[in-house]
């Protein structure tokens, strides 16, 4: 079972963005990916008021292939908490997505911590954009990890281009951090991650469909993890995080 834990669906004509569920499915099929976590590129509430329905409809149209993450802005805390409860409880969403660049919300600030704690209470992980920009670095998101020990926090892109070593360090320090492989350009760092924090805390993602799941999958192949670890990274761990494991 191959599961891509980071794909996007969006429709915002004013930004020229249109990535459909079918685009994701085509990219998944080309890459041999069975299932994917999908989320918008915009936050709720925000530019695309129909973002929740967009993801819900995509998942309903492709049962057993697409699983929703709701992307929220912690600045609208009460509304975001309501939306998170609705998405997970009523619509079957499997996770929360936060992007501090687009929300301008620091991961260590109270609204984010409160929202991430709620995600933990609801039993779903939180996927952060974790790259090189201020407020998205591993040390920034480690503030959340420390404050929310009962919530699983996924570092999407595992530190980007220049913060991968810091991602490894904070993952060693905080047991609730999981590293996700998309976009980050160094295959050997995936192997290092498996060696330092264990294969159970590393997951495959592509950031597709605008980046290639086929290419991103090759990065894990080049990392040469061995059969058991590769199976966990490529899908076994995601099955647990998505609540699909038997």
Residues that bind another protein (CB under 8 A): 99, 101, 129, 131-133, 157, 160-162, 182-188, 207, 210-212, 214-216, 218-219, 222
**Inter-axis angle of helices 164-173 and 187-197, to 10 degrees?**
10
Closest approach, Cβ 159 to another protein, in A, equals 9
Q: Where are the beta strands (DSSP E) in 121-193?
A: 126-129, 153-156, 177-180
Choose between 79 and 222: whose C-beta lies nearer to another protein.
222
* Residue 131 beta carbon to another protein: minimum distance, rounded to whole angstroms: 4
| Cβ pair 197, 179 in contact under 8 A | yes
Q: What is the distance in angstroms between the CA of the first residue and the CA of the last residue of the chain?
A: 13
Q: Going by C-beta distance under 8 Å and a sequence separation of 6 or more, which residues neighbour residue 70?
A: 39, 44, 52, 55, 83, 84, 87, 88, 93, 95, 96, 97
Instruction: Output the smallest distance, CB 122 to another protein, in A.
Output: 27
Nearer to another protein, 117 or 129 (CB): 129
| The residue to which tokens 């020990």 are assigned | 149
Q: Is 60 exposed, middle or buried (0-12, 13-18, 19+ CB in 10 A)?
A: middle
User: Minimum distance from CB of 86 to another protein (Å)?
Assistant: 27
Nearer to another protein, 116 or 184 (CB): 184
Nearer to another protein, 63 or 134 (CB): 134
Instruction: Map residue 211 onto helix, strand or coil.
Output: coil
Please, what is the minimum distance in Å from the beta carbon of residue 160 to another protein?
Answer: 4
Taking the least distance from each CB to another protein, the nearer of 148 and 234 is 234
Report the 10 Å Cβ neighbour count for 50.
13
The radius of gyration of the chain's CA atoms, rounded to the nearest angstrom, is 16
Q: How far is the CB of 46 from another protein (least distance, A)?
A: 16
Whose Cβ is closer to another protein: residue 118's or residue 216's? 216
């Amino acid at each position: 079972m191959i599961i891509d834990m980071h794909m996007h669906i969006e429709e915002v004509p004013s930004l020229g963005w249109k990535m459909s569920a079918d685009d994701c499915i085509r990219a998944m099929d080309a890459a041999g990916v069975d299932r994917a976590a999908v989320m918008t590129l915009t936050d709720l509430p925000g530019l695309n008021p129909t973002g929740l329905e967009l993801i819900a409809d995509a998942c309903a149209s492709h049962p057993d292939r697409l699983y929703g993450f709701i992307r929220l802005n912690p600045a609208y805390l009460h509304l975001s908490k309501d939306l998170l409860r609705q998405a997970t409880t009523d619509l079957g969403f499997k996770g929360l997505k936060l992007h501090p660049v687009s929300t301008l919300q620091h991961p260590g600030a109270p609204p984010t911590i409160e929202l991430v704690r709620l995600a933990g209470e609801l039993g779903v992980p939180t996927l952060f954009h974790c790259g090189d920009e201020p407020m998205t670095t591993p040390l920034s998101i480690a503030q959340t990890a420390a404050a929310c020990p009962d919530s699983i926090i996924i570092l999407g892109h595992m530190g980007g281009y220049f913060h991968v070593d810091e991602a490894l360090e904070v993952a060693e320090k905080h047991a609730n951090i999981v590293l996700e492989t998309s976009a980050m350009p160094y295959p050997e760092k995936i192997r290092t991650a498996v060696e330092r924090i264990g294969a159970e805390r590393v997951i495959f993602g592509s950031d597709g469909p605008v980046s290639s799941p086929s290419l991103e999958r090759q990065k894990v192949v080049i990392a040469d993890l061995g059969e058991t670890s590769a199976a966990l990274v490529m899908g076994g761990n995601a099955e647990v995080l998505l609540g699909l494991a038997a």
